Chains A and B, each alone.
Chain A
Amino acid sequence: MIEVVDLRKRYRKTTAVDGLTFTVREGSITGFLGPNGAGKTTTLRILLGLVHATSGKATIAGHRYRELERPVARVGAVLEASNYHPKRSGRNHLRMLAAAAEVPVKRVDELLEFVGLGNAGGRAVGTYSLGMRQRLSVAGALLGEPNLLVLDEPANGLDPEGIRWLRDFLRTFAADGKTVFISSHVLGEMQQLVDEVVIIHHGKLIAHGPVSELTARAAGGARVRSPQAAALRDALVEAGFRGSLDGDQLVTAAPPERVGELAAANAIVLHELIADATSLEEAFLELTGGDEIR
């Protein structure tokens, strides 16, 4: 769905994006993570045709954003919540976008209701809270009923109720087979929401894959349940791994595939073998060397 190939963006003295390559699978919710200044927003803006890449390319369904016919029908984007004329009403803001996108005005009213701004649509955006502006951004992104949503820190400014609303909405959106590419600094929220993550640091890709795989890789160990747990621990120790036993459960620093191999080699029955997952936040900090995330 999204393909980024050897993407680079240089400003005068700094390199914001440095040879970035990754893909976002159709029908997935993919998180886009990186510390402050990692190049996430620049990458998203290049993808959306707002910033010019120095080299490389970022495409949506094989096309650059500018080449998409009726882009709002393909891609909905939620960027900063401050991009509004403070004196224009929320409804007029959406009408203005709808006119350019050739979307009927009734869709504007439907969306205002959908995002919970039905009663505030006539008010000037300058009187909106940050959360209300984020909801208006989501409404704007949905005008053309797109199959792909690109969101840059959409939870910023949302209260807990708003965050829950956004999470439920994105899950429903993705459940229909649509694609979500979302950058966020709320890692706990991302772990609950996304299928895959792309992690960048200093403009370079440092990890890409399913959340479960990344968290397991960061932890590096496994949890095992076996009626022969003690025998398995002995085999692990003999192979140079540590393991702690608790009844029929064993926790070890050995990777799951090595545990499986040792169990098979020693004819040990396993009832459960799972990668010992750490939190996404811990995995992230380990991958980025503990840099501040944003």
Chain B
Amino acid sequence: MSATLRSEWLKVRTVRTFLWFALGSVALILIAAISVVASNGQIDTAADDRSVARIAAIALVFGLIGGIVVMAGEITHGTVTQTLLVTPVRERVLLSKVAIAGLVSLFLAAVAELLVLAITVPGASLDLHNSRAVLLGILIAAPLAGALGVGFGAIVRNQGSGIGISLVWLLIGENIVTVMSRSVAKYTPGRAFAALVSGEGGSENLLGMGAGGIAAAVWTAVFVAAGLFVFLGRDV
């Protein structure tokens, strides 16, 4: 397993895709965090603290996309053939990808949080005590997002389609579900992750942080299991 993990880590390190993800994540967070400092200058309430800390959750989207690329990118480029010639035990390959995508996503989230803190603590007096639940939630959600991306990538196979479908779902699909039924929408993947990073006890639109974490973990397990099932049965 460790050899497969090393190989998967090399795959991430030896292409620039993930560097661009990191830079994209950093750029968006910089813009958002600097905007907060420039517009308000001061954060007044605990809810404001949590809201500003949640800027770092942008990294979760990049973590999800990273997971999709880790899995579907291999299938798109055909390198999965050689991967499976060296490591024909497909479960080992997929689980290594889950681990690496989780780590990459966690790294992106940690960088994002450090950036947000570095800008907003001195610039807008972000209260760490008020925002710590959010920051913890993001660190828990990040590896789950990366792992979910791997599972989804194994199902869709094409990295472009995978990224497109996931963004359309998050931006449009979940809103449609919300319009149809708020109670059901709380349990959709995007809302479950949003609840996990909310740092709050739940509302009409979101589960509480604990329940959101459980829902996010269940969604991740479902996508990884479905991805594994598809990957095991598919001809390459």
Contact = CB atoms under 8 A, between A and B. Distances in A.
Contacts of A102: 3
A71 B14 contact: no
A85 interface: yes
B10 A95 contact: yes
Interface string B1-34: 0011011001100111100000000000000000
Interface residues of B, number: 26
B88 interface: yes
A140 interface: yes
Contact of B14 (A48, A77, A92): A92
Interface in B186-236: 233, 235-236
Contacts of A85: 11, 15, 73, 77, 79
Interface in B66-105: 73, 77-79, 81-89
B86 A97 contact: yes
A27 to B, nearest CB: 23
A99 B82 contact: no
Interface in A100-144: 100-102, 140
User: What is the predominant secondary structure among interface residues of chain B facing chain A?
Assistant: helix
- Chain A, interface size: which category? 20 to 34
A239 interface: no
Interface stretch (A49-57, A221-229, A264-272): A49-57
Contacts of B88: 49, 65-66, 68, 71
B104 to A, nearest CB: 16
A96 interface: yes
Contacts of A79: 81, 85
Nearest to B93: A100
Interface of A: 45, 48-52, 65-66, 68, 71-72, 77, 79-80, 82-89, 92-93, 95-97, 99-102, 140
Given A51-B235, A140-B82, 12 more contacts: A45-B235, A49-B84, A52-B235, A72-B86, A80-B81, A82-B78, A84-B77, A84-B78, A85-B77, A99-B3, A99-B10, A100-B6
Interface of B: 3-4, 6-7, 10-11, 14-17, 73, 77-79, 81-89, 233, 235-236
8 contacts: A50-B235, A72-B85, A83-B78, A83-B81, A95-B14, A96-B11, A97-B86, A140-B82
